[in-house]
Amino acid sequence: MMDRQVRVRAREEIGRILESAAFDVEPMESPLDLSAIREDECVLVLCSNDVPEIEQFDQTVYKVQAGENEVVCRKLLFSVNDRIAVQDCVLWGIPALIDYAGKAACARVLGREMVLDLVRPRQQRILAETGRTEGEGGIPHLPLRVSERDARMLAKSDGVARLRLIPHWQARYSSSGGTTYKDHAISFDRQGTIAVNAINGELLALDDGTVTCAELPPEAEVLETHISREAAEAKCIDHVVRELSTKVRIRQERREAIFYEEKVFRPDRKAIRVELTRLFVPVWQVRGRNIVEINAFSGETLSTPMDEGVEIL
């Protein structure tokens, strides 16, 4: 059990941290300690070392009514029990409390709003160290052309910026064959390169000559592949079939009437060859009041997260 005075002091300090981040903080009835609300965000806080109490907190989904919407609350656990492991809440120990308390104090002194990064641990964000040794020069990736500073400027935020490597399948494809229809020649000959996002399956236009194996900052997160090689190959073939499908419209005149005949011709899937290799795309994720992702190669602000695990909190 956590000492009662320790729990009271922890509750007070965490309350000050949340208030520094512009949350409205209120005490809660036992076993919870605090609730914090900011616009349509809600955070519930538990200070405890008790394993059953923590497991109950971790496994429970808390919701709050915000106007006409029902919002799922984020959960913040403070514990000095080093053996605690949680799945669905943010865990703070003594080091995190020291870090955030110092930042909150600095924000109060300067009269600024503190940027608070409340992120749950996710399995897919664990560094895949084995991937960093792929090839002699490192893992194949698109070049890092946007700096952390530039990413913050593009995101219009001074929040925490993380460099993440999003896994893709680089697909080099070739299609052959063709057909004729009433004197119209239709060719399905095509070669090209695209990339398939190995987490959410989205396609990315790719210039084969831009890939590099130069070293990357050691703190970059390498995300795990979720989409198999076979699934990526099928998605690539689907894309080629869609791109090469050709609609032919034939006009015919019969006496005073005009007729149009339309047919759609598609390439044979068996005539499409695909070669797949692993590729990573660098992305800056900037977390302030909102999450903004910047393609660190092109500088493009992404409209949808490249990582399906990202939550807009």
Separation between Cα atoms, residue 9 and residue 4, nearest integer Å: 9
User: What percent of the chain is modeled with pLDDT above 70?
Assistant: 86
Residue 191: beta bridge partners? 174
Helix 4-20 to helix 94-110 angle (10° resolution) is 40
pTM: 0.53
Task: Quote the DSSP letter at residue 152.
Answer: H
Which phi and psi angles does 298 have, rounded to 5°?
Answer: -100, -20
Between CA 167 and CA 11 the distance in angstroms is 40
The answer to whether the bond into 31 is cis (omega within 30° of 0) is: yes
Percentage of the chain exceeding pLDDT 90:
31
**Residue 128 predicted with pLDDT over 80:** no
The confidence score (pLDDT) of residue 213 equals: 78
How high is the pLDDT of residue 56?
87
pLDDT of 156 > 60? The answer is yes
- Contact yes or no for 280/165 (Cβ under 8 A): yes
So what's the pLDDT on residue 284? 92
Question: Residue 2 has which token pair?
Answer: 């956590």
Q: Residue 136 above 50 pLDDT?
A: no
- The whole-number average pLDDT for the span 205-223 is 77
What pLDDT is attached to residue 14? 94
Do 91 and 74 form a contact (C-beta atoms < 8 A)? no
pLDDT of residue 235: 93
Q: What pLDDT does residue 175 have? A: 92
Q: What is the pLDDT of residue 158?
A: 83
- pLDDT tens digit sequence for 3-46: 889 999 999 999 999 999 999 999 988 889 999 988 878 899 99
Q: Is the pLDDT of residue 131 over 70?
A: no
Weakest-pLDDT range from 10-24, 105-119, 135-149, 260-274: 135-149
In the predicted model, is pLDDT for residue 305 greater than 90? no
Q: Which domains does the chain have, with CATH numbers?
A: 4-121 (3.40.1350), 125-295 (no CATH)
139 pLDDT band, cuts 50/70/90, is confident
Q: What is the pLDDT of residue 221?
A: 85
Residue 209 has a CB neighbour count (10 Å cut-off) of: 7
- 220-275 pLDDT tens trace: 888 888 889 999 999 999 999 999 998 887 776 666 676 667 788 899 999 999 99
